[in-house]
Chain A
Amino acid sequence: MKRKTFIRNSAIMASMLPLLNALEACHVRPKGSSKKVFILIQLIGGNDGLHTLIPLDNYRKITEARPNIFIPEKKILGLRGTSETGLHPALGGIKDMFDNGLAGFVQGVGYEHPNFSHFRSSDIWNTGSEASSVLYTGWMARYLETKYRNYPDGYPSQLQPDPPAIKIGDTGTFAFQGKAMDMSIVINPNIPFGKSNAGEDGGESTSFGAEEVKSIREILLQTDRYAGVVKKALNAPFASSKLYPKAGENPLADQLKVVSKLINGGLQTSVYVVDMKGFDTHVDQVSASDTTQGVHARLLGKISQAITCFWDDVVHMGREGDVAGMTFSEFGRRIVSTSGLGTDHGSSQPILYFGANIDKQLIGKNPVIPDKITVEDNLPLQHDFKSVYSSVLRQWFKAPEDVIKQVLPGKYEDIAIFNI
């Protein structure tokens, strides 16, 4: 794939997004120069990479290692420019983006001495540490700390009026945990921003405590330094893509919808984390009667739909040049399947990235499945995840080398993901 330049072609847009013309044009140009925005999508539980980005040249070995769950070859989606690698059938939207030069994959991403514990491995990814060392801050927080010195003192400021980072969901992420505090604002898409939880305000208070606490809640809501700018951005007029499903049907789409609104509303926040649960598919990863269906298929389908909708918004805003993102998970899954129609924890995985400034689209080789496969085998490591991170910092965030080294001590190869 040689798509280096961004394609802004009405024919492409028409084929990708038939309803685009039906959308009302309500552009809101962000204030000042367009700021770059990066979205990290965490897939929680360990995504089965082998069924996400499928090495067709290893197809026979996949059927031998996974006799009960492999995807029928003819259902695998082809990718433009290669016959050796395909996509899970549920990833139609991602295939379209790939074929249009808007998505790519890094193969075999992980780290030496893989850890198979959800918590520990997730922490390794979020702190950007080696398997054997323990770090106490998030990798992205370490980067943000160089851009927001002495945070939170002095912020919001004239030059930096918006939150350094935003996490969509109901809890924070380790990735944004700085030395002094969480550097993000957490926005729960299910609760109107600025409102507290159901049950906190509603109904009669039966104790003086419940009455008194209301005043404190009020002050806290008003005190949130970023409440104003976030609310303003959320409420800026914007017609979300008509492609989005109903609220609640696709939690990732719900989260990305909020991200769109915030970007459209002009927030200068440069990084968002969204996430999706449910990837820990030890059993019932596929449906017994049709392996193209089942839990994993539904999850991938939601990723595909969510990113497609989100990108539709980005295009509608005219911010294609400014927005990109990637997925990651605490690990991939085992090559050999379980008897319960699933897979156990694995190690390396493909990372999906998307955006309009992609350099290479398939980075790394197809993983080679060993001939004499055992249940202990895992996909080989090709790229340390920290080289993906450092490449993103270098290429997307334009971070200088000394900053990159501070954030991720160590030497990591530069992977040609983005070209800006």
Chain B
Amino acid sequence: MAVISSYSLRPYKGELKDAELLHLLRRSLFGVGHKELTHYRGKSLDQCLNTLLKASPTPPPVREELSDGKDTNPEVKVGGTWVHELYENEDVNYRRKLMFRMWWTGLILNRDFSITEKMTLFWHNHFVTETDVVKDSRYSYFYVAMLREHALGNYKKLVREGTTCPAMLVYLGGNTNFKSAPNENYGRELMELFTLGKGYGVQYTEDDVKAAARVLTGWRDDKVKSVGIFDPAQHETADKHFSPFFGNTVIKGRSGADGALEADELMDMIFSKREAARYVCRNLYRWFVYAHVDEKIEHEIIQPLADIYFQSNFEIVPVLRTLLGSEHFFDPVFRGCIVKSPVDFLLGSTLEVGVTVFLPPTKTYSSLAECHEPWLQYHLNCEDLTQRIGDPPSVAGWPAYYQAPKYHQWWVNSASLSMRKKLTDGLSTHDGLIFNGGMISFDFLNFAKQFRNKADLDTFVQEVTEMMFAVPLAKETVAQLKGSLVSGMETGYYWKKAWDKLEQHPDDVETKEVLDARLRMFFAKVFSMPEYHMM
């Protein structure tokens, strides 16, 4: 039986070897490749956290991306952004949604060394809208831009802004919340899913939900400017009374433009509850550490973290710094205990190993940084694997993060595992897979080259398996994997010779293929191991 040794949030003071770094980076980035290890090795834990917790620069907005030549909006030149432009018809909007998904996936595939992309996805799962339900692609763009802006910032601000952002107003019916007939949808989800949760002593009432709905009457989305606007005529101006759970707060009703300020007071009221801090911290724990939160974890880890969160007025960075820098986080019992989400599996493996993009029309090679169209296929593949970025199955997010008792085991079933294998098998062939305009294949030779001891067979296999497996493999399994590299020859001598030859003739096709053929067989097996699905 595995047992947790440390329930302490005290800063981890142990060694930061590759094993610890890999654990930290697997959880905070998507995939850990040589680039990341090189960047982080040698840093102290504090320095690592500084790098991780530094927000990425704001990316440029999504541009016209589809290369079929058709402008989706006659006023917007190819290469320009449509986020401020109305769309003339649903076809145009449909194409923009594709481009939006492509853009977001591309941001993950081209992520830097920061935790920003992971946090953006975390907030998306926590503060959900669904792109297809929101419908207006511009709204979805601004929703994600907002998530990313606050990814390493202040959750209270995020929720305030998100409450009246056009995407959320559409998604949860805030734009049809009139004083004559308040719509409780958002008020409920705001408390139940976005801020306070259920259980753990949380006791807001049905009346609280109704009252919150009345506070938020009068908002709607402005289709020209893609913002939320407040219409005093639709706003309920009576006082809103809340239950003892909220200290019997009364939000005074206001008429005119000031009615909009009631939303701010609602935020103040909700975020005055420590339970709000605990709820987010619990979700953060599940996302970054492990699915199972028992009483001891709740008391020793979640509550103290929540206190930090609460005292910082809902700044997430101090919480992340404490949690990811803690003895508890680095307890070896947690290594490899989370099942990789589809994004972690597919985009993570791409970022871990590296891929080449081959463009058949021009017979040239490109990269995922330069060639954008394959990004959309990554999005579609993640959808097939049941994680559609931008469209969780419901307002509760992806079941892997909340559905007891399976939690993260939700990602894996016979269909999804077969599909994962099919993808990695295909990407592990010489030609690779067609990904919307380019042939994508793993670049094993380049990946393998960067292991300093690659020419020594045993060391190579050891280093690769240590880098790629968060759960160690059985000795026999490693021996079998090694067999793929030597085609039955009983020493590593020929393996070394092959690398020596490559050094002499780095561009010789035959020489490269001798190694590549073996690496393909080896890595296809690596990706299909049960252990590879853990992080």
Taking CB atoms, residues of chain A closer than 8 Å to B414 are: 219, 222-223
Taking CB atoms, residues of chain B closer than 8 Å to A118 are: 487, 489, 494
B498, B525, B533 pick with most chain A CB within 10 angstroms: B533
Q: Mark A95-138, 1 if CB is under 8 A from B, else 0.
A: 00000000000000000000001111011000000001010110
Known: A44-B488, A179-B431, A223-B417. A171 touches B425 (CB 8 A): no
* A174 and B521 form a contact (CB under 8 A): yes
* B476 and A215 form a contact (CB under 8 A): no
* A216 and B488 form a contact (CB under 8 A): no
Give which listed residue, B418, B513, B534, contacts A209 with CB less than 8 A.
B534
* A209 and B494 form a contact (CB under 8 A): no
The answer to whether the Cβ of B514 comes within 8 Å of any Cβ in the partner chain is yes
The DSSP consensus for interface residues of chain B is helix
The answer to whether the Cβ of A197 comes within 8 Å of any Cβ in the partner chain is yes
A-contacting residues, B331-356, CB 8 Å:
332-339
* A220 and B530 form a contact (CB under 8 A): yes
Give which listed residue, B1, B418, B431, B534, contacts A213 with CB less than 8 A.
B534
Known: A136-B431, A207-B471, A277-B488. A170 touches B480 (CB 8 A): yes
* B2 and A134 form a contact (CB under 8 A): no
* A216 and B487 form a contact (CB under 8 A): no
B-contacting residues, A35-66, CB 8 Å:
42, 44-45
* A123 and B513 form a contact (CB under 8 A): yes
The answer to whether the Cβ of B290 comes within 8 Å of any Cβ in the partner chain is yes
The answer to whether the Cβ of A14 comes within 8 Å of any Cβ in the partner chain is no
Please report the total number of B residues contacting A with Cβ < 8 Å: 56
* B431 and A197 form a contact (CB under 8 A): no
Give A197 to B475 CA distance when docked, in angstroms: 9
The answer to whether the Cβ of B422 comes within 8 Å of any Cβ in the partner chain is yes
Taking CB atoms, residues of chain B closer than 8 Å to A117 are: 494, 497-498, 514
The answer to whether the Cβ of A217 comes within 8 Å of any Cβ in the partner chain is yes
* A209 and B431 form a contact (CB under 8 A): no
Give A275 to B486 CA distance when docked, in angstroms: 13
B-contacting residues, A204-257, CB 8 Å:
204-213, 215-217, 219-220, 222-223, 225
Taking CB atoms, residues of chain B closer than 8 Å to A180 are: 425-426, 429
Give A101 to B112 CA distance when docked, in angstroms: 69
Give which listed residue, A122, A199, A210, A280, contacts B2 with CB less than 8 A.
A210
The answer to whether the Cβ of B167 comes within 8 Å of any Cβ in the partner chain is no
* A200 and B477 form a contact (CB under 8 A): yes
* B517 and A198 form a contact (CB under 8 A): no
Closest chain B residue to A199, Cβ basis? B474
* A198 and B490 form a contact (CB under 8 A): no
- Minimum distance in angstroms from A254 CB to a CB of chain B: 15
B334, B475, B494 pick with most chain A CB within 10 angstroms: B494
* B337 and A122 form a contact (CB under 8 A): no
Taking CB atoms, residues of chain A closer than 8 Å to B518 are: 119
A-contacting residues, B478-494, CB 8 Å:
479-480, 483-484, 487-490, 494
Closest chain A residue to B337, Cβ basis? A208
Known: A136-B429, A207-B334, A216-B533. A122 touches B476 (CB 8 A): no
Give A41 to B509 CA distance when docked, in angstroms: 28
Known: A180-B425, A200-B474, A213-B471. A207 touches B521 (CB 8 A): no
The answer to whether the Cβ of A23 comes within 8 Å of any Cβ in the partner chain is no
Closest chain B residue to A202, Cβ basis? B474
The answer to whether the Cβ of B470 comes within 8 Å of any Cβ in the partner chain is yes
- Minimum distance in angstroms from A174 CB to a CB of chain B: 6
The answer to whether the Cβ of A182 comes within 8 Å of any Cβ in the partner chain is yes
Chain A, interface residues (CB within 8 Å), range: 35 or more
Closest chain A residue to B3, Cβ basis? A206
Known: A172-B484, A222-B414. A210 touches B530 (CB 8 A): no
* A207 and B431 form a contact (CB under 8 A): no
Give A198 to B476 CA distance when docked, in angstroms: 7
- Minimum distance in angstroms from A358 CB to a CB of chain B: 28
* A198 and B521 form a contact (CB under 8 A): no
Taking CB atoms, residues of chain A closer than 8 Å to B534 are: 209, 212-213, 216
Taking CB atoms, residues of chain B closer than 8 Å to A212 are: 336-339, 408-409, 534
The answer to whether the Cβ of B510 comes within 8 Å of any Cβ in the partner chain is yes
Taking CB atoms, residues of chain A closer than 8 Å to B408 are: 212
Closest chain A residue to B414, Cβ basis? A223
Give A208 to B471 CA distance when docked, in angstroms: 9
Give A278 to B490 CA distance when docked, in angstroms: 7
Give A220 to B409 CA distance when docked, in angstroms: 13
- Minimum distance in angstroms from A135 CB to a CB of chain B: 9
- Minimum distance in angstroms from B55 CB to a CB of chain A: 30
Known: A123-B513, A134-B510, A171-B483. A45 touches B334 (CB 8 A): no
Give which listed residue, B2, B412, B477, contacts A215 with CB less than 8 A.
B412
- Minimum distance in angstroms from A8 CB to a CB of chain B: 36
* B489 and A45 form a contact (CB under 8 A): yes
Known: A179-B431, A197-B474, A212-B339. A219 touches B514 (CB 8 A): no
The answer to whether the Cβ of B524 comes within 8 Å of any Cβ in the partner chain is yes
Query: Would you give 20 A-B contacts (Cβ < 8 Å), ordered by A?
Result: A42-B488, A44-B488, A117-B497, A119-B494, A119-B514, A120-B510, A123-B513, A136-B431, A180-B426, A181-B524, A197-B476, A200-B474, A207-B2, A208-B2, A212-B337, A212-B409, A213-B530, A215-B409, A219-B412, A219-B414
Give residues in A with beta carbon < 8 Å to B. 42, 44-45, 117-120, 122-123, 132, 134, 136-137, 152, 170-172, 174, 177, 179-182, 188, 197-200, 204-213, 215-217, 219-220, 222-223, 225, 275, 277-278, 280
Give residues in B with beta carbon < 8 Å to A. 1-2, 290, 332-339, 408-409, 412-414, 417-418, 422, 425-426, 429-431, 470-471, 474-477, 479-480, 483-484, 487-490, 494, 497-498, 509-510, 513-514, 517-518, 520-521, 524-525, 528, 530-531, 533-534
With A181-B524, A208-B333, A219-B412 known, 6 other A-B pairs at CB within 8 A are A119-B487, A174-B521, A207-B337, A207-B471, A208-B290, A280-B490
Nearest 4 interchain pairs by C-beta: A209-B336, A199-B474, A136-B430, A44-B488
